[in-house]
């Protein structure tokens, strides 16, 4: 049993290492920065099923680290929730197959509301419909699922999560996001306390450094 568990972990770790780091990452970061931080729009993330859960995680992590983002369920978008999309936003769409019907319909509906919204697509299919309409395409490497049936989203969602983390951390570095900034957005819990401690430590270190420089 332990050996079987180890093989699962090794399989997923290798899939992460095999993620192609291509220009799509850079284009995505530039689009998010331009639309959210320069034009004051937001990131709208979407996906169906397990991919949707990853999209939700990415959106909330972006929001807590200085890049306003929301999750839009593709089905709910057809029942009024599309109204959350504004003209300066950027869409982040996740679909392993690259041809998820609800996501393709979301693209069409969003374009009808606000033409030419930029699209960032994370997918395991570079030949899919979504990849072809993307302004920034990020390829997962299409890893084989570790699920013994080869069906349940397992390795693919692990890779999607890591890609999301890479985008979030890159944006934090680009905007110079600090512990003080984090504390303003995360008041409660352990992370709130930790971020305020870090911000205080940095402020005291800077004060000491400035004091030393003046003496």
74-117 per-position pLDDT tens digit: 999 999 999 999 999 999 999 999 999 999 999 999 999 999 99
CB atoms within 10 A of CB 187: 11
Q: Residues 186, 152: one domain?
A: no
Structural domain for 191, as ranges:
178-215
19-52 per-position pLDDT tens digit: 999 999 999 999 999 999 999 999 999 999 999 9
For the chain, what is the mean pLDDT?
A: 92
The pLDDT, as a whole number, for residue 212 is 57
pTM: 0.89
Q: Residues 37, 69: one domain?
A: yes
pLDDT at 215 over 50: no
Q: Residues 81, 93: one domain?
A: yes
145/15 Cα distance (integer angstroms): 10
Q: Residues 121, 194: one domain?
A: no
Q: Residues 147, 207: one domain?
A: no
Domain count, the chain: 2
Q: Residues 59, 87: one domain?
A: yes
Task: Find the CATH number of the domain harbouring 108.
Answer: 3.40.50.10490
Q: Residues 186, 90: one domain?
A: no
What letters, b where the CB count within 10 A reaches 16 and e where it falls short, cover 20-40?
Answer: eeeebbebbbebbbebbeeee
Q: Which band of pLDDT confidence, cut at 50, 70 and 90, is reported for residue 148?
A: confident
163-209 per-position pLDDT tens digit: 999 999 999 999 999 988 888 887 767 766 676 777 677 767 667 77
> 121: which strand partners?
93, 137
pLDDT at 213 over 60: no
Mean pLDDT for 139-164 is: 94
pLDDT at 137 over 70: yes
Q: Residues 27, 117: one domain?
A: yes
pLDDT at 143 over 50: yes
Q: Residues 164, 190: one domain?
A: no
The pLDDT, as a whole number, for residue 199 is 66
By percentage, how much of the chain surpasses pLDDT 90? 79
Q: Residues 197, 184: one domain?
A: yes
Q: Residues 123, 207: one domain?
A: no
Q: Residues 140, 164: one domain?
A: yes
């Amino acid at each position: 049993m332990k050996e079987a568990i180890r093989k699962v972990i090794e399989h997923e770790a290798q899939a992460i290492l095999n993620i192609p780091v291509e220009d799509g990452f850079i284009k995505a970061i530039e689009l998010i920065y331009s639309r959210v931080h320069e034009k004051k729009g937001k990131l709208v993330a979407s996906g169906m099923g397990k991919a949707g859960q990853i999209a939700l995680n990415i959106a909330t992590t972006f929001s807590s680290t200085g890049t306003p983002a929301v999750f839009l369920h593709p089905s709910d978008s057809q029942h009024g929730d599309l109204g959350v999309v504004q003209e300066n936003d950027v869409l982040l769409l996740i679909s392993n197959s690259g041809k998820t019907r609800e996501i393709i319909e979301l693209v069409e509906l969003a374009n009808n509301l606000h033409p030419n919204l930029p699209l960032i697509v994370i997918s395991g299919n570079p030949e899919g419909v979504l990849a072809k309409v993307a302004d920034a395409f990020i390829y997962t490497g299409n890893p084989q699922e570790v699920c013994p049936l080869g069906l349940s989203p397992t390795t693919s969602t692990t890779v999607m999560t890591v890609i999301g983390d890479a985008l979030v951390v890159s944006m934090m570095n680009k905007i110079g996001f600090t512990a003080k900034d984090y504390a303003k957005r995360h008041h409660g819990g352990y992370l709130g306390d930790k971020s305020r401690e870090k911000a205080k430590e940095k402020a005291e270190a800077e004060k000491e450094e400035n004091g030393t420089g003046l003496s």
